[in-house]
Amino acid sequence: MGIEEPDHTRHGRSGRPRRTESGFPVEPVYGPGALTGWDPAERLGAPGAYPFTRGIHPTMYTGRPWTMRQYAGFGTAAESNARYRQLIAHGGTGLSVAFDLPTQMGHDSDTALASGEVGKVGVAVDSVEDMRVLFDGIPLGGVSTSMTINAPAALLLLMYQLVAEEQGVPPEALTGTVQNDVLKEYIARGTYIFPPGPSLRLVADTFRYCAAELPRWNTISISGYHMAEAGASPAQEIAFTLADGIEYVRTAIGAGMDVDDLAPRLSFFFVARTTILEEIAKFRAARRIWARVMREEFGARDPKSLTLRFHTQTAGVQLTAQQPEVNLVRVAVQALAAVLGGTQSLHTNAFDEAIALPTEKAARLALRTQQVLAYETDVTATVDPFAGSYAVESLTDAVEKAAVDLMARVEARGGAVAAIEDGFQKAEIERNAYRIAQETDDGERVVVGVNRYRLDEEEPYEPLRVDPAIEARQVARLARLRAERDGRAVNTALAALREAASGTSGNVLYPMKDALRARATVGEVCGVLREVWGTYEPTERF
């Protein structure tokens, strides 16, 4: 096998200086001149104090580390339940559920559209019975659960609550997050169902429901991760994510909620790339911008309303199928960036995810990466280790300015929804993705194992494969469910949901919960809402 010699030059092959992911030049040396006009007291503050540049808690990880929340889910509910038990046994402190594409799109496993996709990129959940199996033997009062689901988020949250009720867990004891961020689906990911208007109504109804019924639940995880995976730069990632956050806050206030009742339950979801310095700067800038927006635009008074709490996932898009073991290094570096940036919870990708679903060993190694950072390094010994760094503070200012400028351009178009309908965010992200692709193709941006330091022949690797027979088993489960349940009760509950969705004032989650308790399926509930609200058809305008 041929192995290329290392290139120790600082510059790319064109001789130009290095630039960050957002396109800012990286200077060889930073000094006080980089922070001209910079007032530490105003710009930094103390940890746990406005503007939260240095973190949202005074002690950060010196008291306890972040939540180690591993993202998992594949095949059937029983198979995913076994993986969750393994992660908990290995020291995981939070679960994060991946759902398959039919579930994400509001379709049952036995529909034609679901064929070939059941259990492939996540777990198949068609009814509350699947949710019961998914968390069998896992006490929901003692674990924090995150669910990556958007358009049908309310359904999966209600199923989770129903299973908790069966376990005897009071609703005020349930903790976790439902992603519930449909706006980024229109921008970057595509698993939307309904048009923006009804989708925002469903989000607002979820906010109101949780305020009344699930007081400790995080009602939304406003996500930049998927924008980053689609090609957004760090500045674009936080700009478009915070712009979506503003839209959600406006929607909730328009639905009659007080900002200080809503904002403390908002959370965010970002990527962590291998570019450590810019990623640290990005997280610090995002906290500062959000604190200012909540105080100055929305008049929030509760200090918790000003804090940007976020989950981080290492960058799946930066993993390579070539020499997959090298991804262990990438994930460790990305996780370090998230920790130094002050994340509240973290998922570390498995090294084999560019090939297939993670094997058990790969998932365990991903968790061990977090544990080494938390318990073997000294990064948890002090709060915000990079505070005052000329390089990081300069980059924080640069990312903040670029993000604020982009947010102003979104506002000039009438806000996040209007800009989405105009194709603005999508076009900006695609332009940046093209730039990154060009730099990679030209060798200006080095990707180890892909455009430099390649092997003549890749070593064989046996990935995890999902048994194609699970689709037939899931279809059979649905047939039994429909045969055994009280069909009249299901139809009555779905009719009540249809009536609530047709109105404008009632909260659809209450009749939705009744329908799910009667064992209506995800596809049946979403089918009713499709009948009333329609489906979204994107229009390209750029």
Residue pair 263/302 in contact by the 8 Å Cβ criterion: yes
Amino acid at 119: G
Residue 476 located in a structural domain: no
| Strands laid side by side in the 310-314 sheet | 217-218, 175-178, 144-148, 94-98, 67-72, 345-347, 310-314, 266-272, 220-223
Residue 479 located in a structural domain: no
- pLDDT of 541 reads 54
Q: Which residue has the tokens 């570096």?
A: 333
Q: How far is CA 498 from CA 99, 221, 504, 518, 532, in A?
A: 25, 27, 12, 15, 7
Please report how many Cα atoms fall inside a 13 Å half-sphere around the Cα of residue 19, on the Cβ side: 14
Distance CA 285, CA 404 (A): 10
Residue 514 located in a structural domain: no
pLDDT digits (tens, 9 = 90+) for 66-114: 999 877 777 789 988 998 898 888 887 778 898 999 999 999 999 999 9
Which of 142-146, 149-153, 399-403, 413-417 bottoms out in mean pLDDT, i.e. has the lowest?
Answer: 142-146
For residues 203-218, give the mean pLDDT.
Answer: 95
Amino acid at 493: A
Distance CA 46, CA 246 (A): 25
From the CB of residue 234, how many other CB atoms can be counted at a distance below 10 Å?
A: 29
Task: Please give the residue range of the domain that contains residue 134.
Answer: 50-441
Average pLDDT, whole number, for the chain? 92
Residue pair 47/383 in contact by the 8 Å Cβ criterion: yes
DSSP state of 120: S
For residues 245-268, give the mean pLDDT.
Answer: 95
Residue 289 located in a structural domain: yes
- pLDDT of 268 reads 96
CA dihedral 24, 25, 28, 30 (to 10 degrees): -50
> Does residue 41 carry a pLDDT above 70?
no
Distance CA 465, CA 359 (A): 9
For residues 460-488, give the mean pLDDT.
Answer: 89
Residue 333 located in a structural domain: yes
Distance CA 298, CA 371 (A): 39
Which of 95, 97, 107, 184 is CA-nearest to residue 142? 95
Give the model's confidence band at 42: pLDDT under 50 very low, under 70 low, under 90 confident, else very high.
low
Distance CA 451, CA 45 (A): 43
Which of 237, 229, 224 is CA-nearest to residue 278? 237
- pLDDT of 344 reads 96
> In this structure, what CATH number is given to the domain that contains residue 57?
3.20.20.240
**DSSP, residue by residue, 492-509:** HHHHHHHHHHHSSSS-TH
Residue 185 φ/ψ, nearest 5 degrees? -65, -40
Q: How many domains does the chain have?
A: 1
Residue 372 located in a structural domain: yes
Residue pair 279/330 in contact by the 8 Å Cβ criterion: no
pLDDT digits (tens, 9 = 90+) for 134-181: 999 999 998 899 999 999 999 999 999 999 999 999 999 999 999 999
Q: 76 or 520: whose pLDDT is higher?
A: 520
Percent of the chain at pLDDT > 70 equals: 95
> Does residue 8 carry a pLDDT above 50?
no
pLDDT digits (tens, 9 = 90+) for 273-285: 999 999 999 999 9
pLDDT digits (tens, 9 = 90+) for 288-325: 999 999 999 999 999 999 999 999 999 999 999 999 99
> Does residue 468 carry a pLDDT above 90?
no
Residue 271 located in a structural domain: yes
Residue pair 74/357 in contact by the 8 Å Cβ criterion: yes
- pLDDT of 96 reads 84
Distance CA 426, CA 542 (A): 9
Which of 372, 343, 260, 249 is CA-nearest to residue 306? 260
> Does residue 13 carry a pLDDT above 50?
no
Residue 44 located in a structural domain: no
Q: 360 or 405: whose pLDDT is higher?
A: 405
